Amino acid sequence: MALPSTPHSPGRLVVIQAQKPKRCATCRRGPLSLLVLEDGAPRCLHCADLGHLVFLPRGDTALTRRSREESGLSVVVVRFNRRKSRYERQGVLVEEAALARAEARCLADAEARRRRRARDARRRVAEDERFAAAFAAEILRLFPGCPADRARAIAAHASVRGSGRVGRSAAGRALSEGAVVSAVVAAVRHVDTPYDQLLMSGVSRYEARRWIAPAVESVLRAWQDAGAEVG
């Protein structure tokens, strides 16, 4: 089976992490864990003049950046994700001496970087708390009858950092009405209707949403009308 085409990376060498046993087309060494594709044929690192490099897995951003700074030659290592049909970065190849120098640099300022990470984490927590409070306030503006604790719970759920939920979208961060309403609708759907039970019983998502739509609309209207009554 042919290897997927090497990802286009202008000005940057790329090595592939093999998924199936391959042998070098030049020296026949194998199976290869890392290879270079040249003219569609796999080559081992030695035949590609990269055998003197060592592999640094991804995960430590500072160490990777410094290793590449210290190394006269560095190569990106990728692996093909069949499910996503794309190459994904796995790490880099760098000179062994460069890696040692980078490790020494990282050890020298490890405490300073730890304190900086802690400060950044506290800053993100404060930002997230302010954003969740603003999101909850917008929910209460649009749905005055929504209980305050419920608005806070919806806002907290919708705005979790890295969740991909509507609160973290561009529209959500801008507190657009559509994004806020979407978050409220989703919360009502899961909490105030038998939507989840319908899904568990085998009902399709679209059919389940159709069935519970009147119940969702009833809750939303009640929360909106409560504000009109107060006014």
Pairing of strands 14-17, 34-38: antiparallel
As given in the structure block, the two tokens for residue 197 are 């039970």
Report pLDDT for 1: 38
- What is the rounded CA–CA span in Å between residue 87 and residue 47? 23
Residues 143-195 have pLDDT tens digits of 999 999 999 999 999 988 888 888 888 888 889 999 999 999 999 999 999 99
Report pLDDT for 111: 87
In single-letter form, the type of residue at position 185 comes to V
Residue numbers in the chain where pLDDT is lower than 50: 1-5, 8, 10, 231
pTM: 0.59
- What is the rounded CA–CA span in Å between residue 41 and residue 36? 8
Helix (H) / strand (E) containing 206: helix 205-230
Report pLDDT for 3: 46
Is the separation of the CB atoms in 130 and 156 below 8 Å?
A: no
Render 75-135 in DSSP notation, one character per residue.
EEEEEEETTTTEEEEEEEEEEHHHHHHHHHHHHHTHHHHHHHHHHHHHHHHHHHHHHHHHH
Report pLDDT for 113: 82
Interior angle at CA 173, CA 172 and CA 174, nearest 5: 90
- What is the rounded CA–CA span in Å between residue 153 and residue 139? 11
